Amino acid sequence: MVIIIQIIFWVLLIDSLTAVYIAWFGNKDYFNKFTFFKRYIPITRGWTVWYIVLVLFIGYLIYY
């Protein structure tokens, strides 16, 4: 059970780091190509910061 929780945490961490990278350093053409995702999944800097903070908090709770 613990292994599954750790795997889920690492998948969430990779996802949040990818979202932060796209929001802060991503190319603006990326947002113009995928208008469907832009409409339903807003990748903004504030959202991604909260997302990574929450994932790190979950990781803290799991490991300590």
Q: pLDDT by residue (tens digit) across 1-19?
A: 888 999 999 999 999 999 8
Q: Which residue has the tokens 């709770």?
A: 61
Report the number of distinct structural domains present in the chain: 1
pLDDT at residue 1, as a whole number: 81
- The reported pTM is 0.75
Dihedral sign computed on CA atoms, order 46, 38, 40, 14: negative
pLDDT at residue 24, as a whole number: 84
Q: How far apart are CA 10 and CA 51, in angstroms?
A: 14
Look up the domain containing 10 and give its range: 2-63
pLDDT at residue 43, as a whole number: 63
Q: pLDDT by residue (tens digit) across 9-51?
A: 999 999 999 988 888 887 667 667 777 766 666 667 888 999 9
